Amino acid sequence: MSSLTPKQLKQYEDEGYVSPIEALSKDEAKEIREEIENIEKKWPSELDGLGRNYIHFISPVFDHVCHNPKILDAVESIIGKNILICGTTLFVKNPNEEGFVSFHQDAKYIGLEPHNWVTAWIAVTEANEENGCMRMWAGSHKDDLKYHNQKFDENNLLTRGQTVENVPINETKPVILKSGQMSLHHPKIVHGSGVNKSKDRRIGFVIQSYIGTNVEQVLGKMYVQLARGKDRYSYHKHVKRPLKLMDEEDILIRKKANEELSNIFYNGAKKVGKF
C-alpha cells in the first residue's frame, strides 16, 4: 500500500525530500528513547563509534520501528513494494557537545546502485533549529553527485567528514519534526545539520536506507532484512530479526555487518574516522 498523497509525492519529486510524515506516536518515540538510555546504562560503550549502526539487529524495539507498516506505506510510495532494510544509524547530538553533520549527499560513498532507495529520518526527540535539525538544499537531488572534500573533523558525525562546499545556506530548509514524525530524503539531496544548542539531547533514528530489492551494493557486502514484498534478486545476505535485547548471536551478526559497512564507507579513503 502507498500512503503519500500526490502533494507529498510532488514535494519529494521537486525538492528531494518530504516532511513531516506521521510515523510513530509520542509514546512510541518515548519508548525508543528509553531503549537507547537503557542500553547506554547497562552496556555503556555499546552505542559508541560503530555501535551507532545496526541497532535494529540487537533490539526488538528498533526492529519493530523498521518494520512499522505506516513507515513502510510511505516508503512504498517512493521505491515500490519490494523493500529491504539495509541499515540503520543513530544520530545523537548531546547538549554541550559540538557534533554536527557537514553538507553531503548520501549516495556519494554508500555504494547502493541504482538509486531506488530512500532514507527515513525518525525524530525520537523533537528536531528543530535550536537543537540542530537537518537542513535540506531543496532541488539539489536533480544535479549529479558533487565533489566532496574529506575533512575528518573531530566533531563531524559523518565517517570521513565528507563535505560539499559553498552550499547556499539561505536556500536550505530546516526539517522541523515533532517526536514521532519523520522525513524521507532522496539519495542525492545535499543536506547537513548544525550543533545542538538546546539543553536536551537531539536524537534521530535513521533507516539508511530502505532499498528496492533491485538495488545492488557495488562496494561490498550488505546485511539486510526483507521489510515487504519479495526479494527475487537475492543480491544481499538476509539476517534474522531479533527476539530479545542483546542476544549473543545477534551481537555477532551486528559486528560482522559493521565490519562490512566500514569497508564500504572507507573504500578508497586515506584514513579511517571514529564511526
Contact positions vs ligand AKG (CB under 6 A): 91, 101, 106, 119, 121, 134, 191, 193, 204, 206, 208
Distance CA 105, CA 140 (A): 9
Grid coordinates of 136: 535540506
Shortest separation between residue 234's beta carbon and ligand AKG, angstroms: 27
Closer of 133 and 227 to ligand AKG (Cβ): 133
Shortest separation between residue 206's beta carbon and ligand AKG, angstroms: 4
Closer of 57 and 275 to ligand AKG (Cβ): 275
Nearest to 192 by CA among 209, 173, 205: 173
Grid coordinates of 104: 553531503
Please list, residue by residue across 212-233, b when 16 or more beta carbons sit within 10 angstroms of its beta carbon and e when fewer do: bbbbebebeebbbbbbbeebee
Closer of 191 and 254 to ligand AKG (Cβ): 191
Closer of 99 and 250 to ligand AKG (Cβ): 99
What pairs with residue 223 in β-bridges?
237
Long-range residue pairs from 222-226, CB within 8 A, at least 24 positions apart, any chain: 222/86, 222/87, 222/260, 222/264, 223/54, 223/57, 223/86, 223/253, 223/256, 223/257, 223/260, 224/84, 224/85, 224/86, 225/56, 225/66, 225/67, 225/84, 225/85, 226/83, 226/84
Shortest separation between residue 120's beta carbon and ligand AKG, angstroms: 9
Shortest separation between residue 123's beta carbon and ligand AKG, angstroms: 10
Shortest separation between residue 216's beta carbon and ligand AKG, angstroms: 20
C-alpha R_g of the chain: 17
Closer of 39 and 124 to ligand AKG (Cβ): 124
Closer of 109 and 121 to ligand AKG (Cβ): 121
Q: Which class for 81: exposed (0-12), middle (13-18), buried (19 or more C-beta within 10 A)?
A: middle
Shortest separation between residue 157's beta carbon and ligand AKG, angstroms: 7
Closer of 250 and 265 to ligand AKG (Cβ): 265
Shortest separation between residue 207's beta carbon and ligand AKG, angstroms: 9
Please list, residue by residue across 174-187, b when 16 or more beta carbons sit within 10 angstroms of its beta carbon and e when fewer do: bbbbebbbbbbbbb
